[in-house]
Structure 1
Amino acid sequence: MEQAELTALLTAQGLRMVDEVGPLASTTEVAAAVSRLRAAGHSPDLVSAVVGQAHLRVRAAAKFGPFADRMLFTRAGLEQATRLEVAARHAGRFRDAGAHRVADLGCGIGGDALGLAGIGLDVLAVDADETTAALAAYNLAPFGESVTVRHGRAEETDVDGWDAVWLDPARRTAGHSETSRTAPEDWSPSLDWAFDLAGRMPVGIKLGPGLDRDLIPDDVEAQWISVDGSTVELVLWSGSLRREGVRRSALVLRGGSAAELTAPGDTDDEPVRDLGAFVHEPEGAVIRARLIGEVARSLDAGMLGGGIAYLTSDTPLTNPFVQSFRVRETLPLKTGAIDAALRKADIGTLEIKKRGVDVDPAQFRRKLTLRGAASATLILTRMGEGRDAKRVAILADRV
């Protein structure tokens, strides 16, 4: 968003027009709204800002629910914003640790600050980008004097007198649209600065779930979070925000329910065993936290293949940390054999999953004949370990 668009948007007319335009879900609706507003004599900056916000509010509903209807966004800010249900859980950890005043450094559009302020904490929200800080101020305005929003850099913010810090280092190049990710040494503030602060006071640091594990300090709790099947973030907790005896945790949120697995460190995998009646795929947060073995032991399951994040057992399971599949048959990983089995089973809708094999699922799908009325899941992977490992295709059904 350009400064001229922001200026036009943050007026009584601009904000009223966003509400009047309503949700714009498709490019066709966006184009029609632009034509209508321009024909009515509104300036290009105002039209661009209003239509852009109406479209972003539709996309934001997935993260903010009904709150999105009164918020303002940039594309990059929305992309990086924490989902409200996750932010609420982060806020609860600050409250449970005894924090009353939290500085949110790198607040973006204010997603995490919403969670903090929503449970009654005082918040200092700071962002280095002037436009983003202005939108955060608008989004957080309903909380009145309990929230202070500033334009500034995290490294230059005085946090004396604040009980704890929430820190979201910028991991993208500058700008307000979806942008390319940068290397850790280019993050703002740097990881070194963030880790130094975490060594001096209670800090939560939000990072991408794929962070190089060698960069994680020994004295923090590393918590990976999955939401509805997607691993969305890694948070490093220090000081009183870190739970006693916990260095690895996997939080799984799905369909409004929550489950968490914790451990004092990485856990060893269970031994590889023969394919049973079921295959189980651990949630991404469990895999990232290296707690697959912990899940396997709790389910009396074993590894399907050496170094492959699939489990197998002979009993059906209902467990929040895995998605389970009932095995129909095992096939060689060859297109002809698989295609014949799909035709025989009348399968026209096929979910393809893969681990441990160099196969592009999209290209593989194009080689198959899918014309039946039934549906199934095809798991492309390796079974066994070492020299005995073999590439297989497992035809299965979701449990």
Structure 2
Amino acid sequence: MAYRFTRADVGYLGSAAGRAALAEVDRLTLSAASLLGDLERVRRDHGDRAAALVETVRLRRRAVAKLPGAPGWLFTDDAMQQATPSVVADHRARRLAGRAVHDLTCSIGAELAALHQVCPIVIGSDLDDVRLAMAAHNLADAPNVLLAKADALVPCSTGTVVIADPARRADGRRTHDPAKLQPPLPDLLDAYRGRDIAVKCAPGLDFDQFEDCEAEVVSLDGAVREACLWSSGLAEPGVTRRATVLRSDGSDWTLTDAAPDEIPEQPPGEWIIDPDGAVVRAGLVRHYAAENGLWQLDPRIAYLTGDRVPEGIRGFRILDRLDLREKTLRAELRRRGCGPLEILTRGVDLDPDALRARLKPRGAVPFSLVITRIGRTPTVFLCETPPARPTSRV
């Protein structure tokens, strides 16, 4: 169970004595194997401060990849997990550059850290006293950031763009129901009707409920991180859907539903392309295909095909097309000396791990199976396995 920080903990950890103690604890391993012994040593040296010190050091270590610019920050476990990765926060801040911004659910300040670099005035508010105290510590060197305790559903600023990140857990479970977010999304939009507002939400949300907004889905190194609803005053004219793909190598790109979506209907080409998750979640598969000279294997399935692979994308070169019969697949994989086996599925009810175990690949040559449905027919494409993309950013 995660340690529950208090305002007194925050005051101590931010003091000269606390910083010295944290530096001392940071020299310990604090691994799963050493934790009990390390904690006992910290208790001997620092008494009842031990748990707060150990938890802070461990949280800082976990936060390094996600929040690389926050080495001396204070966190709670939940706040660190919920914090927007710096790369994603920087992207959102660029869309708000030059505006005065009020973060209604600022928590420990991850969004504020990005906003204060490009916005003249930044206000952060929250109802959690401990997180506000941590935000004050984390942003002590940001003179244009103002912090206040306030209810997100009670407007307390004027002339600002408002942003919010409602908690996406209800009754201990992750929820996609807008009315069960904290604060509830419908209430939040009602409270700031007529204001420019951006609200983070789950990528699985039914965006069709929000006709007056631009829904942007953001991925980072191939993993979908979040969606954001942008009110009409912040949206690009004519755009209701956007996919933003952020990558470690800097080859970021974006696609909107203002792009053409006319694509041909043709038999499979030489390659299969599995579009980035942001494209799929944003409903822009056809737009992506049209932009890159591709077409769909099936009009209801997100797999694309073509005779070339877009730059920077993993493409699966088709070697053979087979029926979904395990005996046939097993024999073909054995004949080809298949060892490492990647299995991708869309449109079929199938557990890739269970299928891999039943196929029993024991050779040395890597292959990929792309299993999908064309019309009503389950179909297997045996493909070369492409190299994985790097995933150094989190």
| TM-score, normalised relative to structure 2 | 0.88
Q: In structure 1, give the amino acid aligned to 2:213.
A: V
Could you tell me which residue of structure 1 aligns to residue 391 of structure 2? none
Correspondence list, 1:89-100, <5 A:
89-95=91-97, 98-99=98-99
Q: Distance in 1 between matches of 2:163 and 2:220?
A: 20
1:80 equivalent among 68, 79, 82? 82
Could you tell me which residue of structure 2 aligns to residue 107 of structure 1? 106
Q: Distance in 2 between matches of 1:30 and 1:379?
A: 43
Q: Distance in 1 between matches of 2:337 and 2:23?
A: 49
Structure 1 position 259 matched with structure 2 position 253: yes
Q: Distance in 1 between matches of 2:305 and 2:323?
A: 18
More helix by share: 1
Correspondence list, 1:147-186, <5 A:
147-160=145-158, 162-173=159-170, 180-182=173-175, 183-186=177-180
Q: 1:236 to 1:318 in 2, by over 3 A?
A: same
Q: CA deviation at 1:309?
A: 0.7
Q: CA deviation at 1:276?
A: 1.8
Q: Distance in 1 between matches of 2:262 and 2:146?
A: 47
Q: Distance in 2 between matches of 1:271 and 1:25?
A: 57
Could you tell me which residue of structure 2 aligns to residue 30 of structure 1? 35
Correspondence list, 1:140-219, <5 A:
140-143=139-142, 145-160=143-158, 162-173=159-170, 180-182=173-175, 183-216=177-210, 218-219=211-212
Q: Distance in 2 between matches of 1:54 and 1:295?
A: 43
Could you tell me which residue of structure 1 aligns to residue 382 of structure 2? 394
Q: Distance in 1 between matches of 2:75 and 2:18?
A: 14
Structure 1 position 64 matched with structure 2 position 63: no
Match of 1:106, SS?
A: coil
2:315 equivalent among 324, 337, 340? 324
Conserved in 2, the CA contact under 8 Å of 1:379 and 1:396? no
Q: In structure 1, give the amino acid aligned to 2:112.
A: A
Conserved in 1, the CA contact under 8 Å of 2:101 and 2:119? no
Could you tell me which residue of structure 2 aligns to residue 12 of structure 1? 16
Conserved in 1, the CA contact under 8 Å of 2:96 and 2:119? no
Q: Distance in 1 between matches of 2:61 and 2:368?
A: 31
Q: CA deviation at 1:130?
A: 1.9
Q: Distance in 2 between matches of 1:17 and 1:334?
A: 62
Match of 1:367, SS?
A: helix
1:278 equivalent among 258, 271, 274? 271
Q: CA deviation at 1:239?
A: 4.1
Q: State the identity as a percent.
A: 35
Conserved in 2, the CA contact under 8 Å of 1:106 and 1:170? no
Structure 1 position 136 matched with structure 2 position 135: yes
Match of 2:71, SS?
A: helix
Q: Distance in 2 between matches of 1:373 and 1:324?
A: 21
Q: CA deviation at 1:112?
A: 0.9
Q: 1:390 to 1:127 in 2, by over 3 A?
A: same
Structure 1 position 340 matched with structure 2 position 331: yes
Q: CA deviation at 1:219?
A: 1.8
> Could you list the per-position Cα deviations for residues 222-252 of structure 1 after superposition, in whole angstroms to 9, with x for gaps in the alignment?
1111111111111111243211221111100
Q: Distance in 2 between matches of 1:58 and 1:7?
A: 21
Q: 1:47 to 1:231 in 2, by over 3 A?
A: same
Q: 1:21 to 1:376 in 2, by over 3 A?
A: farther
Structure 1 position 378 matched with structure 2 position 369: yes
* Between 323-332 and 276-285, the greater mean CA deviation after superposition: 323-332
Q: Distance in 1 between matches of 2:34 and 2:217?
A: 38
> Could you list the per-position Cα deviations for residues 27-85 of structure 1 after superposition, in whole angstroms to 9, with x for gaps in the alignment?
224334213212x34224x22222112222222122112x2321121221122211111
Q: Distance in 2 between matches of 1:48 and 1:269?
A: 59
Conserved in 2, the CA contact under 8 Å of 1:252 and 1:260? yes
Q: 1:221 to 1:326 in 2, by over 3 A?
A: same
> Could you list the per-position Cα deviations for residues 2-29 of structure 1 after superposition, in whole angstroms to 9, with x for gaps in the alignment?
4265565444333332233228574224
Conserved in 1, the CA contact under 8 Å of 2:292 and 2:310? no
Q: Distance in 2 between matches of 1:93 and 1:29?
A: 45
Conserved in 1, the CA contact under 8 Å of 2:261 and 2:289? no
Match of 1:336, SS?
A: helix
Could you tell me which residue of structure 2 aligns to residue 250 of structure 1? 243
Q: Distance in 2 between matches of 1:262 and 1:114?
A: 28
Structure 1 position 118 matched with structure 2 position 121: no
| TM-score, normalised relative to structure 1 | 0.87
Q: Distance in 2 between matches of 1:269 and 1:7?
A: 59
Task: Give the CA RMSD over aligned residues.
Answer: 2.4
Could you tell me which residue of structure 1 aligns to residue 296 of structure 2? 303
Q: Distance in 2 between matches of 1:287 and 1:192?
A: 25
> Could you list the per-position Cα deviations for residues 178-207 of structure 1 after superposition, in whole angstroms to 9, with x for gaps in the alignment?
x53244223222212322355312111111
